[in-house]
Structure 1
Amino acid sequence: MEGKKVLVVDDEPFAQNLLKMLYGVLKVECIVVANGKEALEEYQKSANFVHILMDIHMPIMDGYDSTKQIRLHEKAKGLPRCKILGLSGDGDPKTKAACISAGMDDLLVKPLKKEQLQQFL
């Protein structure tokens, strides 16, 4: 898994540290940002991510809007579609449908396990 890079977007420091630790165990470089606006800026700088793990509820710009903006950026630049995985404590089917509608590929429910992340690498 070495050499792979993921973007983690979450406003909670505890979740950020946990995800950095889980990806570290998998030997995957983990770039962490705290909101959707920062995620969009990071993706625009370097679209070279295996996937983006996107919390859906954050200040400044939520995961839904950030995903929509990333998809527009990919289309405008002719970039391949990056896998975006929504992240929430709510596993309701309506939440998953909202994630898919926004352009995410799936919804993962907190708390996450290493094996869940590993399957997307």
Structure 2
Amino acid sequence: MTTSHPPTFTLTVQAEPTALVIHVGGDLDYETCDELMRTADQHLADRRSDQGRLLELRVDFTGLDSIDSMGLSTLLMIRRRTDAAGVRLHLDGRPPGLERLLEITGTLDYLTAPCDVSKGELRPGTG
């Protein structure tokens, strides 16, 4: 019998004065997406209560190996929460697999459109 070992998944957080960068490494899937969601939620809540206002949440996918539908669902939820908080979401370092998933599912424009933080409105197709 062969046992499989779960792929390595890493999240590192880099705080800047008005931005937060979450670096994602490994597979973003059913088993790991809750960790990304908890991390984003925690830091969005923490930064709202701090003296400095969070203006941007950057998720860096340079180290991403793969993403499944639960990973995509998590990105959509993060987008909703950043919009509600008036925070711009950026998906940086998107590898070809993630880019293709976003294009195929029709979520690329939605997830990369800037939010007009003064009005909380999206401007699709401009990001």
TM-score with structure 1 setting the length: 0.45
Is the helix fraction higher in 1 or 2?
Answer: 1
Q: Which has the larger radius of gyration?
A: 2
Greater RCO structure (CA 8 Å; 6+ sep): 1
Q: From the two aligned structures, give the one with the greater strand fraction.
A: 2
